[in-house]
Amino acid sequence: MTTPDPLAAEGLDASILGAADRLREAFDGGETRPLEWRRNQLQQLKTMMSERGDELVRALQADFRKPELEAWTSDIAIVSQECDHALKHLARWTRPEKVRTPLQQSPGRSRIVRDPLGVVLIISPWNYPVQLLLSPLVGAIAAGNCAVLKPSELTPHTSAVLAHWLPRTLDPRCFQTVEGGVAETTALLEQRFDHIFYTGNGNVGRVVMEAAAKHLTPVTLELGGKSPCIVDRSANLDVAARRIAWGKFLNAGQTCVAPDYILVHPDREEELIEKIGAAVNDFYGDDPKQSADYARIVNSRHHRRLAGLLKESGDIVFGGELDEETCYLAPTLVRNVQADSPLMGEEIFGPILPVLTSPSIEDSIAFVSQRAKPLALYVFTENADVEAKVIAETTSGGVCVNAILWHITSPNLPFGGVGPSGTGAYHGRASFETFSHRKSVMTKPTRFDLKLLYPPYSRLKTKLIRRML
């Protein structure tokens, strides 16, 4: 008697339950290996970004009022740039890499060949639902893989547009987009993939890693954490305040690398707070709720979570206005925050910025080092020694000096976390390498056959071999 499949009983489409196996037939058939196929898919994806960009922007605005400029720059343009970069460098990336053959192993020829992994699963979050689904996909395509794509159900308008256009853009034999929530994601995670790429929070990251372990599937986890922003005594506060305010309140703070808290010298705290407040006013006006340039919290559940954090920690300097009906939370700065307060216990992922004082760079470094390794670390300083000290004595996924977010926009810099903030990296060539296997190849000629290595092993052979090693 056959045991009923509980997932099938939930009414899941058969194409979801067999997604990995179906795409593996195409991969095993060699569909994705030709470079011309890869170039075509990358070009098609880039064309989709251009031709369907306005539609995707409208969907992002419908999901959480993402401003048009933010939608274009942080979601649409980044994917297009990744496509351009991969198209430009694909031939070089895929070229066999020659390496030296040790003298003891000569004659011979050694090289590293990049093999596609096979069928990969990409699970994206809701905060940048276009970029964080399609940027990893660029690397998967460039490396020659098939892919199942799972957009976030928390941005349903964007998910629907992606699910409509991706099958009409990319080779349907090799790519499948799966909409839905927990049941659909669970069904996908029960299948055997050759790599899983997940962007989101650590709790779900643990679920993904546990599911992947059942099949010994490698994973890339792009998580988050509390990214600190150290403001040194020497910092240019006019510039620092504007850049911090922009990076923190972009997308209403719903950015995995947004500065999560500030550590500033006590002598500079008042001035910095005043200048950040002025920058927020310049950006969004006296009432940010009326600004077309300020996004909303993605849903009521997240809004209530942020409201709870705000009630329990520190003194509000500006902001703090809430409207659950429209999921509005004003850009908010909080001071007199205790290190063990709820605001400092978890990633905020919203427009609340705690300011803590720190008497020295050494104390700031110690404060950061005593906590989980963050995805990003920011330092504002005009002192080269301070810059070098912070970089050398802290651990984080990446560092940006005198700016916010910019280090993640370069395709030449790998982006990823460390420890609790993630594992693995992508962007540019790093994406291609993430979805590739570096296969070692050695070729030996047959015209010369060293019989010294063959049994029977005499004392003379042993003596000669030991001298050679």
pLDDT digits (tens, 9 = 90+) for 298-334: 999 999 999 999 987 789 999 999 999 999 999 999 9
DSSP letter for each residue of 317-384: EE---EEGGGTEE--EEEES--TTSGGGTS---SSEEEEEE-SSHHHHHHHHHTSPPPSEEEEE-S-H
**Residue 293 φ/ψ, nearest 5 degrees:** -100, 10
> Does the pLDDT at position 37 exceed 70?
yes
256 catalytic, yes or no?
A: yes
State mean pLDDT over 54-83. 96
Measured at the CA of 9, the angle between CA 7 and CA 10, to 5 degrees, comes to 70
pLDDT band at 15 (very low <50, low <70, confident <90, very high): confident
Sign of CA dihedral 417, 422, 424, 427: negative
Spatial separation of the C-alpha atoms in residues 2 and 414, rounded to whole Å: 48
pLDDT band at 177 (very low <50, low <70, confident <90, very high): very high
174 catalytic, yes or no?
A: no
> Which tokens hold the place of 433?
């390498």
Q: What pLDDT was estimated at residue 106?
A: 87
Q: Tokens 């989980």 belong to which residue?
A: 372
Q: What pLDDT was estimated at residue 469?
A: 75
Nearest CA to 404 out of 452, 353, 446, 360 is that of 353
Within a 10 A sphere around the Cβ of 110, how many other Cβ atoms? 15
Q: What pLDDT was estimated at residue 312?
A: 76
Q: In the structure, how many helices (H) and strands (E) does the chain have? A: 18, 18
Mean pLDDT for the chain?
A: 95
> Does the pLDDT at position 6 exceed 50?
no
| Residue spans of alpha helices (H) in 52-130 | 53-64, 68-71, 77-94
Q: Tokens 């893989």 belong to which residue?
A: 145
Q: Which CATH class is domain 228-416?
A: alpha beta
Q: How far is CA 269 from CA 43, 140, 389, 415, in A?
A: 49, 45, 22, 31
Contact criterion met (CB below 8 Å) for 360 and 266: no
| Residue spans of alpha helices (H) in 227-353 | 237-249, 266-284, 300-312
State mean pLDDT over 417-437. 97
Contact criterion met (CB below 8 Å) for 70 and 250: yes
Q: What pLDDT was estimated at residue 9?
A: 39
User: What single-letter amino acid sits at 197?
Assistant: F
> Which tokens hold the place of 398?
């990446």
Q: What pLDDT was estimated at residue 10?
A: 59
DSSP letter for each residue of 180-214: -SHHHHHHHHTS--SEEEEES-HHHHHHHHHHHHT
Q: Within its chain, how far is the Cα of 244 from the centroid?
A: 21
| Percentage with pLDDT > 90 across the chain | 90
CATH number given to 6-223+421-441? 3.40.605.10
Q: What pLDDT was estimated at residue 26?
A: 97
DSSP letter for each residue of 403-419: SSSGGGS-TTS-B---G
Q: Which one from 70, 82, 222, 387 is the annotated catalytic residue?
A: 222
Spatial separation of the C-alpha atoms in residues 87 and 297, rounded to whole Å: 36
- The residue among 451 and 275 whose pLDDT is bigger is 275
Nearest CA to 20 out of 196, 162, 181, 142 is that of 196
Q: Which one from 146, 256, 327, 400 is the annotated catalytic residue?
A: 256
Domains 6-223+421-441 and 228-416 share a fold: no
Domain ranges of the chain: 6-223+421-441, 228-416
Measured at the CA of 451, the angle between CA 446 and CA 455, to 5 degrees, comes to 130
Can you tell me whether residue 148 is helix, strand or coil?
strand
**pLDDT tens by residue, 107-164:** 999 999 999 999 999 999 999 999 999 999 999 999 999 999 999 999 999 999 999 9
State mean pLDDT over 86-103. 96
Nearest CA to 295 out of 318, 317, 327 is that of 327
pTM of the complete model: 0.94
